[in-house]
């Protein structure tokens, strides 16, 4: 994990704690274990989240299919909702449910900035505190 990735993960964990969610980074994510682990696990007794975190200065993020399959598997066993937490440079966090990710020709996944801001949730929406009206 590079420094930028660790920094944004810590930033999100702090945001979750400040919003009254217990949250932790899963330091074994990224290949240190054979078990599928998300970058962040969080919950507040009402909602449980498993989040794969990606940040970029580009307009799209690509994610290996094994990461997404692992996130789905973990979430199913744990009882969490699986999300990609996307942090685009100079933009607010967006949280895209894994079912809304775009499958690439190479059988991996991607999310672009347009998808993140059309189908992704804002932080308060993710926690069920606010519902944003989205127009089609």
Catalytic hit among 6, 29, 57, 75:
29
Other Cβ atoms less than 10 A from the Cβ of 77: the count is 11
Phi/psi of residue 130, nearest 5 degrees: -150, 140
DSSP conformation letters of 48-83: EEEEEEEEESSSEEEE-HHHHHHHHHHHHHHT-EEE
Residue 103 structure tokens: 């499958």
* Active site (annotated) includes residue 6: no
Q: How far apart are CA 39 and CA 41, in angstroms?
A: 7
The residues annotated with a catalytic role in the active site are: 29
């Amino acid at each position: 994990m590079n420094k930028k990735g660790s920094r944004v993960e810590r930033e999100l964990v702090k945001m979750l704690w400040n919003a009254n969610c217990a949250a932790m980074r899963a330091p074994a994510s990224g290949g240190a274990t054979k078990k599928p682990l998300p970058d962040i696990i969080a919950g507040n007794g009402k909602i449980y989240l498993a989040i794969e975190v990606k940040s970029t200065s580009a307009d799209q993020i690509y994610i290996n299919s094994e990461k997404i399959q692992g996130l789905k598997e973990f979430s199913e066993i744990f009882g969490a909702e699986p999300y990609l937490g996307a942090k685009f440079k100079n933009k607010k966090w967006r949280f895209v449910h894994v079912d809304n990710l775009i499958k690439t020709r190479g059988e991996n996944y991607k999310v672009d900035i347009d998808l993140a801001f059309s189908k992704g949730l804002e932080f308060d929406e993710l926690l069920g505190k606010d519902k944003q009206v989205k127009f089609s």
